Each structure stands twice: as structure tokens, then as C-alpha cells.
Amino acid sequence: MSLVNKAAPDFEANAFVNGQIKKVRLSSYRGKWVVLFFYPADFTFVCPTEVEGFAEDYEKFKKKNTEVISVSADTVYVHQAWVQHDERVAKAKFPMVEDRKGTIARAYDVYNEETGNAQRGLFIINPDGIVKYVVITDDNVGRSTDETLRVLEALQSGGLCPVNWHEGEPTIKV
């Protein structure tokens, strides 16, 4: 069942953020847009490319009143070790949330019961806490931060946006 146009499941969990372990609660970001992305595991092959991509574009998202939050089944201590050992991941300034029991991934319907990891799911949540966009892809395929930013801008435009629409282009008038 799709979460689009439904309330984003709230959660509170430990996260590794800028060298510190902190509690993160999704509802504390009300008033901002949120890009919440799940990935299978730290110390893998595709996942660090995604974390690096969102880290490199983090300021672009912040300028759009948007917070980025990542979630995996790894603990905050594994996140910390990953940040310390992978220069790509070390670029991340956004919360890296732990989900050891898969509670958050299950709430977003991206938990893989066979592996015990999250699937590659991405959710854009509006400032009122409503899910406006969902994409779930195979573990072998990383997501595009450019496309995520494009969709975010389209959602923020409030208009009807045609295929391949980009910020500054006209929306559809009815």
C-alpha cells in the first residue's frame, strides 16, 4: 500500500550526525521538507555512492528548506566506523539513523525480511508531515540526487509539472 498523500510514520531513533550520536525524531522536522532515504547496509558497494551523492548535494537541499535523513539496519557505531573509514561517506552532514530491528523500514514498507535490511526506498515528505513522493528500487541501482532534487522542486512549485520539468519552467495551466 502506497504512503503517498498519507502521514509519514513518525519515529525516534539514534543517529550518527556530524561526529556525534544523537536522538532524531522525524516529527521534529515539521515545517521543513524531508528527503528520507533507506539503503541496505554500510560497508557495501552502491550505498556509499548514494550517501556521497546526497552529501555533495546536501546544501542544495538545505537551500530548499529540506533536511536529508538516511536510514539503514546498521547501528550508529557502525555508521561512525563507516564515516571514519570511507572518505565518501565522511562527507555526510545529515543524520544517519540506525534501525537494527527494522521498525522504521517496516513502517515505510521497505523492509526485506530475507536479508534483514532495508530496500532502497526514498520518500519526500512535505512540511506538514505528508508523504508526497516514493521511489523504491532494486538494491543494485543507486538513486539520482538530481532527480530527487528535481521532484522536490516540482512538489514545492505547487503546480502541475510535466515530464522532465525543471525549476523556472512553466507549469501546466488548466
What is the pLDDT at residue 6?
98
Number of domains in the chain: 1
DSSP designation for 74: S
Q: How far apart are CA 66 and CA 124, in angstroms?
A: 9
Show the low-confidence residues of the chain (pLDDT under 50).
Answer: none
Angstrom distance (rounded) from CA 165 to CA 83: 35
Model confidence, pTM: 0.97
- Per the CB < 8 A criterion, the answer to whether 38 and 105 are in contact is yes
Active site residues per annotation? 47
* Per-residue model confidence (pLDDT) at position 1: 73
Query: What residue has cell string 508531515?
Result: 129
In a domain, 98, yes or no: yes
The β-bridge partners of 72 are 98
Parent domain of 62: 12-142
**Residue 110: CATH number of its domain:** 3.40.30.10
Residue 158: inside a domain, yes or no? no
Q: Compute the mean pLDDT over every residue in the chain, rounded to the nearest whole number.
A: 97
